[in-house]
Structure 1
Amino acid sequence: MAKQGSLDNKVVWITGASSGLGKALAQECALQGAQVILTARRIDELESVRQSLVHPARHICLTADITDEAQVRHAYAQVLEQKGRIDWLINNAGLSQRALIADTSMQTERAIMEVDYFSQVFLTKTVLPTFLKQKSGRIAFVSSVAGLLGTQYRASYSAAKAAIHMWANSLRAEVANEGVGVSVIFPGFVKTNVSFNALNGEGKAQGHQDEAIENGLEPEAFAKIVVTALLKDEEYIVVGGKKEQLGVWVSRLSPRLLYKMIRKAKVK
């Protein structure tokens, strides 16, 4: 039996686990003794991540496109078959954006909302009965500081990340007496390939790195902070540099000042 505040032998399911934040979170959870379930679309990259974890044989790879409900149901069935329980679900898979509203097609608007909001809602609703039956566990969502602030070139992304935050708040209130915890993580700039894959207005990958992300927090440092916070049952976890922390602080105290700051900010 794992002690409180420990991931020893706990089952942790992470989406978007083939790279970036998901990979770093998987490595940190494995270091802390968890059995990690890695999910993404590409099996080769997932296997590569699994081999990089401590005790690779303890962990499993399950491929799924999280926007495909049948694939998600199948992955969930496999998790229960192979592990019998889920202690943490980390909804990490996401898609960013780098385009002005005027240049963003409705198809792109919907594609971002599908990945960053609807797919996470569906996976969580699929897994929720297991958490309620266990009367234990923690569901975490990787939102974004952009979801708290809303900035140029990231309108759809900011909206989707804000939406999942509010949905998580409602979920937390509904399951509070059922032994199930809900956490939302708000990363600022972390050094990953997120901006390479960010969609332009036409829905194509941007294909290059942003300067702010290149100078961001190392993914390993991000993962350590997040896992430590989750082990303490923290529900609102902001991880970022001084600028992002300041923005979040101002957003609470004075939205009017925040809007002025964002208008002047160079965010692309």
Structure 2
Amino acid sequence: MANHFNNKVVWITGASSGIGEALAYALSAAGAKLILSSRRLPELERVKQGCSVPGQVQLLPLDLSDTDSLQDKTIEAIKCFGGIDIMVHNGGVTQRSLVIDTEIEVHRRLMELDYFSYVVLTKALLPHFIEKRAGHFVVTSSVMGKIGTPMRSAYAAAKHALHGFFDCLRAEVTADNIKVTILTPGYIRTNISLYAVTNKPYGLGKPSENIENGLPADRAAKQIMKAIKGGKFEAYVGKFSSERIGLWLNRLLPSVLTRIAPRLVPK
């Protein structure tokens, strides 16, 4: 594992917590050079100091909702180490509310953060990958990018959109030796549910029981690195759980999944 990532330059968005933070530690230990991005510079500094080789870590604060800034941020990222080998799209937010209660502004916010920012960054970085005829886009989607359950309409819509875009991109750039891996994490033990967008002004503000019982983020990072090394088109990340069963049902027996979906409300 270590040899594959040694001296590779990896840019991670959403790197200040959760999966992004755990992946930063694991990749640093494997010898990668890192560019870490999120809005919170103090948290990025903390993550940098927790890496095995802080001297091989560059910080690039950015706001994914400010899509007009992302072209310039990509130029800055390339300059950090003179090139980028792997782009890990990982930033974003989740959502918890019924369709009837979800304001259209919530849908727009989720699409801007969880979909359009990924598209803008990808289009900004793609010429660099094409020029060097190598590169790897790693996209953090979700099980909700493949199935639908109550309370997740805006989030699922944005994640479903990622699959469509990046599947098309893969078909276009495979001949240029550019890889695309879409990750479909299940419940991972992070603080993402604390900041879930709801129909209330300040979000959910409490941990989700399912998230609390999920796969630890450091173990998720190991699964992700294995998927990247293997050049997987798509990879489930998480425990063997009802979510993985849901993915199978969606493919093989979608009518069964539809009947049980109302019982899959996040706790």
Compute the TM-score of the two structures, normalised by the length of structure 2.
0.96
**Residue 137 (structure 2) pairs with residue 139 (structure 1):** yes
* Cα distance between partner residues in 1 of 2:193 and 2:88: 21
Cross-structure match for 2:178: 180
Aligned partners of 1:173, 1:254: CA distance in 2, in Å? Answer: 27
1:3-45 CA distance string (max 9 Å, x none): 9970110000000000001101111111111001000001100
Q: Distance in 1 between matches of 2:144 and 2:201?
A: 19
Of 243-252 and 72-81, the range deviating more from structure 2: 72-81
| Residues 1:260 and 2:255 aligned together | no
Report runs of 4+ in structure 1 exceeding 6 Å deviation.
Answer: none
Q: Aligned equivalents of 1:179 and 1:156: distance in 2?
A: 33
Q: Is 1:60 the equivalent of 2:52?
A: no
CA contact (8 A) 2:2 2:31 kept: no
What secondary structure does 1:159 align onto? helix
Letter in 1 for 2:158: A
Q: Output one character per residue of 1:210-233: Cα deviation in whole Å (capped at 9) or x when no partner.
A: 100000000000000111110111
Cα deviation 1:49-78 (Å, max 9, x = unaligned): 011001101111100101213432222121
- The amino acid across from 1:236 in the alignment is E
Confirm or deny: 8 A CA contact 1:95 1:198 kept in the other structure. yes
1:100 equivalent to 2:59? Answer: no
Deviations 1:116-146 (A, max 9, x none): 0011100111100011111111001100001
Q: What secondary structure sits across from 2:204 in the alignment? A: coil
Q: Percent identity?
A: 38
In the TM superposition, residue 94 of structure 1 has moved relative to its aligned partner by: 1.3
SS at match of 2:60: strand
Secondary structure, in 3 states, of the residue corresponding to 1:116? Answer: helix
For 1:264 and 1:58, locate their aligned partners in 2 and report how far apart those are by CA, in whole Å.
Answer: 46
SS in 2 for 1:49: helix
Q: Distance in 1 between matches of 2:202 and 2:161?
A: 23
- For 2:188, the equivalent position in structure 1 comes to 190
* Structure 1: distance between partners of 2:204 and 2:69: 27
Matches within 5 A, 1:64-213: 64-202=62-200, 204-213=202-211
**Shift of the alpha carbon at 1:154?**
0.6
Distance change >3 Å, CA 264–CA 176, structure 1 → 2: same
C-alpha contact 1:105 1:203 (8 A) present in aligned 2: no
Residues in 1 aligned to 2:238 and 2:248: alpha-carbon distance in whole angstroms: 12
Amino acid at match of 2:56: R
Q: How big is the shift at 1:202?
A: 4.1
TM-score, normalising length: structure 1: 0.96
CA–CA separation in structure 2 for the residues paired with 1:107 and 1:143: 21
Q: Distance in 2 between matches of 1:176 and 1:260?
A: 38
Give the conservation status (yes or no) of the 8 Å contact 1:144–1:161.
yes
Unmatched segments (≥5 aa) in structure 2: none
Question: Match of 1:223, SS?
Answer: helix
User: Residues of 2 paired with 1:4 and 1:152: CA distance?
Assistant: 40
Tell me whether 26-35 or 71-80 shows the greater mean CA deviation: 71-80
Residue 266 of structure 1, CA deviation: 3.7
Q: How far does the alpha carbon of each residue in 1:139-175 deviate from its partner, in whole angstroms, 9 at most, with x for none?
A: 0110000111111111100110011011110000000
RMSD of Structure 2 on Structure 1 (CA): 1.5
Matches within 5 A, 1:217-232: 217-232=215-230
Q: Aligned-pair distance for 1:263?
A: 2.1
1:250 is matched with 249
Letter in 2 for 1:72: L
